[in-house]
Structures are given as C-alpha cells and as structure tokens.
Amino acid sequence: MITLKKFILIILISSSCVRTEHIDILIGARCTNRANEKGVCKYYNDCLHMMNKVNRHEILKCNEQGIICCIPAPTTETNSIPIAKEIKSERISERKCKEYSKSTKSNVTVAGTRANPQPFITENDNCLHKSTQLVVGGKAAYRFEFPHQALLGYVKGRIHNWICGGSLISPKFVLTAAHCKVHEVEESGELIDYKITSVKLGMISLTKTDRDTKILRIAEFITHENFDSLSKYSDIALIRLNRNVPFSEKLHPICLPTKKYEDGQQALVTGFGRTDSRPNMSEKLMKATLEQYNHTYCNDVYFNTIDHDTMICYGNASTSNVIDSCNGDSGGPLQIKHDSIDCSYIQIGIVSFGNEHCNIEGHPGVYVNVFHFIDWIEKIVWADE
C-alpha cells in the first residue's frame, strides 16, 4: 500500500524531472522549481551556488539521493561577453585582400635537382609592377601601376565626361567620394547636373581606350547616410557595378586599411585631375607623394571645420615643389605600399576637397579617413559573407 508521503514524492519527481529508474539518465534532465525557474538535474556538489540560498528548503530535489534541480547562476557582466568578442580575428577585408591578390600569382612547376630529383611547385608573382613606396614630385603613372584606379563617367544627352576618380575594392564594388554622385556644369549661367552612369577600369589615359580598358554600367550608387554636402562630412560612397570584374595582373582591387595612420605618414595620390595651372584635366594618370599634416594645423587652415575622426589632411610642405590633388581627382585613392603583398596598395584616404586653386603652399587637401568607415564598407560589400 502506498503511503501519502511516498505518493507526494512520486508526484514531485515526475513533475519536476524526467522520470527514470536510473540516476545516470536522470542527471541532466530538465526541471522547473517552485519559482518557475528552468534548470537541470545535478548532484549537490555540481551546483554549489545553490547551497548559498538562505532557506535550503527552497531547493527542489529531483530525488532523495542528492540530485537537485540546479538553476544556472546569474551571469556576471564579465562572463556575459562571448569568447569570440575577446579574440581579435582577421577582418573580412583583410581576408579578401589576400584572396584577391592571388589573381596576380600562378603556380610554376620547377624541375628537381640531382640531389632532390622530385619536381616541386612554387608560386610565381605575375604583377606588371612593383608597388611604389614614394615618388618625388608629380609624375605620370606607368601602365598597370595602379590596377585598381577607376574613372567615373557622367552623361547629359550625348555628352559624356570622365570626371571623378575611384578605386576597385572587390569584383563588384568601387569606392569613391559621396559628392561625386552628381557633377554640376555651368552652362549659359545655369548649373546643369550630369548624372553618373558608368565606371572605367584598366586605363592610363583619360580619353583613349584599348582592349585592356573595361567600361561597366553602374547598378547602384550608395551614399553614406551621414554625408553632408556642405561640410563634406562622411564624404564616402560605394558604387555597385552591373556585373563582376574579372581579376588579372592588369586589373585587381586595392586593399583596405586595418589601422589608423599617424601624422607624418607619406602616401601616394593618383588621379587625372588638373596639373599645375592648366584648366583641363590631365590626359595621363598622375601620381604624387604627399605627407600627412597634423590635425591642429589642418583645422586652423580650414577654420575649425575638420573632423578629426573622419578626415585626414595631406599635402607637401616643400616650398619649392608644392604638390596637391586637384579638381578631377575627387573620389580617387590615397594609398600606401602594402607591407606584405608586393603587387598591392592599401587605400587610407579618398580625395574629398581642398583649396579651389590647388597647389597652394601650406594648404593641404582633405581626404576621407577610410579606416573610420571600414565597418560600413564591409557590411555592404561583403554582406553575404
């Protein structure tokens, strides 16, 4: 005959844990205490934090053999941080940079030697240039020296102009300045908007094309949500191309930065902008070495309108050879030599604005700090990865 005490015990076990005849199976079974808190059945010694309760009668037992309904201990702020957050992993832009660089390499089978007759495979670098550390003065770029350089095309009626610059950063995206979305031209006293329609890649001439030049249609112009056309804050945009660009040693992307660079850093700016005092854009792709100005000096020059986090200033401090980016260079890359991939550069800036006359001594140009926008770029360009 079942006593009342034994009957209550059976009900208690069956309602709080999965009923079983074997303790080994009971351990780990789900349970719910009187406060409706979820837990699992464990031995007392495996749930010592429950022993700190003032009234131990609140502890719901799964059976009479030292197994209780163990409710997880409250998670502290320190313990709540996922382990993955504490480990510095490689950014997707870093991984893609290495992946894209393979387009300039090929495997070559090397014959064995008398000592080791077995043939072996080695990797051969096929890039058509070695990334330049710096250039003294402004000079014309070599063919395929900047295989990421882009030109943006604008159309009004039958008139087609190539104005702003950009840089290829993935098979389907070009990085440029937000203000390059529309090109304004004064005609008969009126400002006429030329709409951006296309991107030209693989060129070294402003107007001439050859079999290595590719012209692609623009599928979407994505302007940063914080862009301000007056202050030029967040002057950054992404262009989604209508199809993927096939990479080769003649055409492949530039890499993105993984750190912020300090004052005094030298970098190369490239573009088809005006040179010297000439009114028209350069027919040839030009390159020039600039150095970074400190924020305080740059802010004084631009009347305290420079944002320290999102903008960087570059120019040339030489009094005898003033060098600067100019009209037509907008949206183009400011880059440095990649320290581990010979055929690649790292883009640290985007040409944004400067003195309208260019080449003014002590008056640096203002560039978008690409590093500040890495998260935004990665979220769009590699959204599916």
Cβ proximity of 67 and 42 under 8 Å: yes
Rounded to whole angstroms, the maximal C-alpha distance in the chain is: 110
Catalytic member of 234, 235, 282, 324: 235
Integer Cα distance of 249 and 364 in angstroms: 33
In the chain, the amino acid numbered 330 is S
Q: What are phi and psi of 244, to 5 degrees?
A: -70, 145
Strands 365-369 and 345-353, bridge-based pairing: antiparallel
Quote the tokens at residue 336: 């440095």
Residue 318 catalytic? no
Task: Kindly name the residue from 93, 131, 167, 179 that is annotated as catalytic.
Answer: 179
354 alpha-carbon distance from chain centroid = 25
- Catalytic residue, from 330, 344, 352, 363: name it: 330
Distance in angstroms (rounded) separating the CA atoms of residues 192 and 184 = 5
Strands (E), the chain: 30-32, 38-43, 67-70, 105-110, 120-125, 139-140, 149-156, 159-170, 173-176, 182-187, 190-201, 214-223, 237-241, 266-271, 286-293, 311-315, 333-337, 345-353, 365-369
Q: Is 309 a catalytic residue?
A: no
- How far is Cα 110 from Cα 120, in angstroms, rounded to an integer? 5
Q: Has 344 been annotated as catalytic?
A: no
Residue 321, H or E segment: none
How far apart are alpha carbons 137 and 101 in whole angstroms?
Answer: 29
Q: Give CA angle at 52 (47, 53), nearest 5°.
A: 105
Which residues are known to be catalytic?
179, 235, 330
